[in-house]
Structure 1
Amino acid sequence: MSPTTNGHYAPRDPTLISNVHSNSYSNALLHAHTDLDSGAYTHRPLVPGVYVPTVCFFNDITEDLDISTIKKHAVRMAEAGVAGITTQGSNGEAVSLSHRERRLVTTATREALEAAGYHDMPIIVGCGAQSTRETLELCHDALLSGGDYVLVLPPAYYKGLMSNTDLYEYFRDVADESPLPVLIYNYPGAVSGLDLDSDFISKLAQHPNIVGCKLTCGNSGKLARVATATNAATPSDIGSGFMAMGGSADFTLQTLIVGGSGVIAGLANITPKACVAIVNYYAQGKIKEAKRIQARVAQGDWAAIQGGLVGTKSCLQTFFGYGGYARKPLPRPASEEAIRWERAFQDVVDLERTL
């Protein structure tokens, strides 16, 4: 769709946005079908809730993809009640994978969900790269691998040479050409401190193929402004269908209170039920219960933030019997460090086991 004469896209029409649901979320899910020869594709709709950016798993010796564990983990997440899965995110070590491996991870995830009966669960695929061309290649790979949406970081290697206009045109060009709807990914820590502001995101949100954002910046004020500007979907109101998502579990409740749609939360790899419980309690109006769970989740998320992939995988190995290690050169924790992460995550894992 072309922009209007003032350079902005026409306001989003809720009847035309492909991820807008009916008033009953329980009846909103649509079966996806892909006919690549004819070009027809119906993606699974996004609903407010918890999305988990899944960890990637490798053979401890060869560092080859551990497909069976990737599949097992995806099904565990689905069984816990998450609204969807994100592959190729920061937790998924996308920067350490070849294009072929990225396709394999998403394909394995889709196959596992289908085999377990979760036909309607959407998959968001991380597709950010340093050029518009490669980003679009990844977007097409995401479609072929069974993805429904793409999550796109801004390019930052040449940050000093790019203006806001250049960045805007990058997202616009990707959205114009991507075969899948786009979510904007704002994560300053991964892109040399580049932090997209609420005006920038809200302007891009007018593009008909941009259907959401993930704010790992942790700025709930920014999230509130974007949610208001886009009339974002919430657990109780479909709004425009735009998904204004927080980027970590430690501000799940805050995200919901300011009008956001949910979270894409790395801690959900460890405690998906606890993260989902916050959303469910909020949706039921049980704010006291939601605050109680949020407090313990926030403490657990602090351990995940401190330990990153190393701590998260160590926790999975200790408490759930799988996890392994990140690809080199990321370190493998010594036994003393593994004990440290066990202690740091113990309380939130105990909480998870009560749910």
Structure 2
Amino acid sequence: MNGHHEIRQLKPGINVPMVTIFKDNEDVDVDAIAKHAVRLAKAGLTSITCQGSNGEAVHLTKEERILVTSTVRKAIDEAGFSDMPIVVGCAAQSVRETIEFCKDAYNAGGDAALILPPSYYKAAYKPENFVEFFQDVADGSPIPLIIYNYPGAVAGVDLDSDTIIKLAKHPKIRGCKLTCGNTGKLNRIAHAVKAATPSDSGSGWMCMGGSADFTLQTMIAGGSGIITGLGNVVPKACVKVFNLYAEGKVEEAQKLQAIVARGDWGVIAGGITGTKAALESYFGYGGYARRPLPKPSKDEVTKYEAMLKEVVELENSL
């Protein structure tokens, strides 16, 4: 474990929520995770996420979460990327356990915590309980928080722009990831908080889209970048769309965005199973998700290969 460290600041760009790679017996494959992290860092990401939805955080023990984060930190440090921040998924249902995960993340070398709203007792919560949850976690966490708005993962809990703008006033709540795909919401938040963009660091607040298929929409709306699962398979292609837009080459960016969006549909449709299948097909590693997530059938593997063929060809040309 790295213990106490200076917290690295997040910058606008592309972030990939890494898949957690397992051996055939479902043990964490430390060597493969380290190799994958370095491949992603070399592709031009501005940060990496461990234990996002793609990282099967809900399938990992507390000890395994720490192991994955510290493995990634060590691997990218040794590869010359010691200034790259790591965002760590720290979601839990109680304030107390969420803070504990944030402390573990910091001690393992993490720089920010990606936090879903609680949802198990959804029927009992009032709107203010969600605000209090994030504020209380931020008060107790050694690292800043990124609010993770992903209604599909939390029984439909969908934080509106007013709530996120209110939470942004907390000095330790420093960003959001909007997997809701609501670019109007993103636009309202980005302007209210003066989000960091490629051309203007603004307040430093990170207003991130949650999917590579709306990279340009996010940037045009004043957002800071994307946290994208597709980037596990084609990180350079995702970075290229962002960089072309940042350089003002909007028409070129649009052409590549279309290819990336078609590829993203493959991993959105296939989920973690499809993402890992594509990694295995095209790059020779990735393996399977932990049970009870299904292994893909031969037909499914062929389907995911076909859906990602075009974007992988783009990746390999960069």
TM tier relative to shorter chain: over 0.9
**Equivalents in 1 of 2:303, 2:253: separation in Å?**
28
**Equivalents in 2 of 1:85, 1:285: separation in Å?**
25
What is aligned with 1:301?
264
| 1:279 to partner: Cα distance | 1.1
Match of 1:278 among 241, 263, 276: 241
**Equivalents in 2 of 1:215, 1:115: separation in Å?**
32
| 1:67 to partner: Cα distance | 0.4
Q: How far does the alpha carbon of each residue in 1:4-50 deviate from its partner, in whole angstroms, 9 at most, with x for none?
A: xxxxxxxxxxxxxxxxxxxxxxxxxxxxxx764xxxx4211111000
Match of 1:288 among 251, 265, 270: 251
| SS in structure 2 of the partner of residue 234 of structure 1 | coil
Report whether the alignment pairs 1:66 with 2:48: no
| 1:113 to partner: Cα distance | 0.4
| 1:317 to partner: Cα distance | 0.2
Report whether the alignment pairs 1:51 with 2:15: yes
What is the letter of the counterpart of residue 270 of structure 1? Answer: V
Percent pairwise identity = 59
**Equivalents in 2 of 1:267, 1:342: separation in Å?**
13
**Equivalents in 1 of 2:134, 2:313: separation in Å?**
42
Match of 2:50 among 87, 101, 116: 87
Q: How far does the alpha carbon of each residue in 1:181-207 deviate from its partner, in whole angstroms, 9 at most, with x for none?
A: 111000000000110000000000000
Moved over 2 A (4+): none
In structure 1, stretches of 5+ residues that fail to align are 1-33
Report whether the alignment pairs 1:328 with 2:308: no
**Equivalents in 2 of 1:166, 1:337: separation in Å?**
42
What is the letter of the counterpart of residue 189 of structure 2? Answer: V
> Are the aligned partners of 2:3 and 2:109 in contact in 1 as well (CA < 8 Å)?
no
Q: How far does the alpha carbon of each residue in 1:228-278 deviate from its partner, in whole angstroms, 9 at most, with x for none?
A: 000000000010000000001000111000100000011000111111011
Q: How far does the alpha carbon of each residue in 1:210-234 deviate from its partner, in whole angstroms, 9 at most, with x for none?
A: 1100000000000000000000000
Supply the RMSD in Å over aligned alpha carbons: 0.8
Q: How far does the alpha carbon of each residue in 1:128-181 deviate from its partner, in whole angstroms, 9 at most, with x for none?
A: 100001000100000111001101000000000001111110001001111001
Q: How far does the alpha carbon of each residue in 1:63-110 deviate from its partner, in whole angstroms, 9 at most, with x for none?
A: 000000000000000111011100010000000000000000000000
What is the letter of the counterpart of residue 50 of structure 1? Answer: I
What are the equivalent positions in structure 2 for 1:159-198 lying under 5 Å apart? 159-198=122-161
TM-score of the aligned structures, taking structure 1 as reference length: 0.88
| 1:51 to partner: Cα distance | 0.3
